[in-house]
Amino acid sequence: MNSDWRSRVSEGTGTGPRNVPEPVYLDYAATTPVDPAVAEAVGRCLTGPDGLGNASSAAHPFGRRAAERIERARAEVAALIGAAAGDIVFTSGATESNNLAVLGAARANAHRGRHIVSSRIEHKAVLDPVKRLEKEGFAITLLSPDRSGRIDAQAVAAALRPDTVLVSIMLVNNEIGVIQDAAAIGALCRSRGVLFHTDAAQAAGKIPIDVRTLPLDFMSLTAHKLYGPKGIGALYVRSEARAHLQPIVFGGGQERGLRPGTLPTHQIVGFGVACDLALRVLSAERARLDGLRERLWRGLSTLGGAHANGEGAPCVPGILSVSFEGIEGESLVMGLRELALSTGSACNSASGEPSYVLRALGRDTQLAQSTLRLSYGRFSLPEHIDLAVDAIRREVTRLRALSPASEPAKASLGEALGEAGGPGQEVWVRFRLAVREGTVKSALFKAYGCPHTVAVTAWVAERLRGRSRAELAPGTPVEWADAFAVPVEKLGRLLAVEDALADCARHWPEPE
């Protein structure tokens, strides 16, 4: 293993501005760094004769050599999950694999029934195809998890109907890392003659998987979650279930007609090497990551008001999802400049909406929005975990002290106290103004909200000194938004700053 490369990924001493270290990478659940051995194998295919030919061109040695490399990689992918090589269908990633399994199985079996069972905490790559099927006339049942994040096999049993043709329940949740009881769910489906698909993108290479004993029909995999290249994945198709799956794209006939298109030799070879490495280090790496998870939670749990999502359920060792009481999530993440992490699923964290997975677990909107997903892996070290603990503790403590909840809302003699918003709302602003001879002598503030709200509140407080009751506000929310480049969708939050100043004016102390 290249230790210099590990240092660059973990500590950011390679690329980027000189003397400005990049953050410690704790977003392995979004994508893992490519292992150097994988990168080397991919490079050989890109620059040498091994990847020159098209695997479909069997008339010359270049095509045959590419085909041989692909079949070797197919066997390596299959070995990771205990499958036969012929049961592996290469795709562009888990998203395509999920679409192929859900759409392909449902449509191929529509003559037998038009009912699908899945869960509310699936990845969007399953939920969106399921919604597509609903528009095509399929009936959909989405099961809710228990408070630990597990889907009860008995709930699946209760949801099955005579016309149910497919159940799709993920093996490991991408946000909270909870491992579902796929064995029990699969056995139930098998006994009822229902096809079973599982999204194993977050499971493969992290926990042992053996499809020879696991009763399932389709399993989705992706390379970039296990130190392989992006843009390549696979769908395991049990040989007996192959007749119950139809393609969703057409042309070319590759991958036994289930996924046509020229095979990307370099990516497939990288995928195979990544699976081979993962299989060889799985046991030792799982134990090491268990230790890092325990170290991380031990450091955060003493903060108080910290909740480990998925607690009480079996979880993969490389993901820890923690929700913090009394914290606005965006402000928390913005303060953690030394860490690269997600507030939830990387696929959804940019939306600003609370995680639908956490809401399904019963977390309220505020707690769901104050959640960090910390994920770590092969190149993570104990010192990176310690740095993360120190940084998160610092920011949680700072933001809680900044919140109006940290002090009583009681004005002292000669003070104008005003606030807007409140507990449980997305904004809560309070000003405490010391008034002498009709003007502000000093101003203090407390604020709970997004970084823009906090920054504007602080800026306004600095400009209140010397102002009278009649001209208390230094400008308008629109002017503040322009000065701080506040996105238009957040403009309404700045009204709370204006309202808090208006409340100060209403509570202006009488002259002595």
Q: Which residues are part of the catalytic machinery?
A: 347
Helix, strand, coil shares, percent, the chain, to 5? 45, 15, 40
Q: Are 224 and 93 in contact (CB under 8 A)?
A: yes
Q: Hunting for tokens 């699946």 — which residue is that?
A: 156
State how far the Cα of 179 lies from the Cα of 170, in Å rounded to an integer. Answer: 8
Q: Are 287 and 314 in contact (CB under 8 A)?
A: no
Dihedral sign computed on CA atoms, order 133, 109, 213, 72? negative
19-23: list long-range contacts, CB under 8 Å, 24+ apart. Answer: 21/338, 22/340, 23/336, 23/337, 23/338, 23/339, 23/340
274 CB contacts (<8 Å, ≥6 apart)? Answer: 35, 38, 205, 223, 226, 227, 228, 229
State how far the Cα of 390 lies from the Cα of 374, in Å rounded to an integer. Answer: 14
**One-letter amino acid for residue 275 of the chain:** C
Phi, psi of 134 (to 5 degrees): -60, -40
Q: Alpha carbon of 164 to those of 36, 172, 188, 412: distances in Å?
A: 45, 23, 13, 67
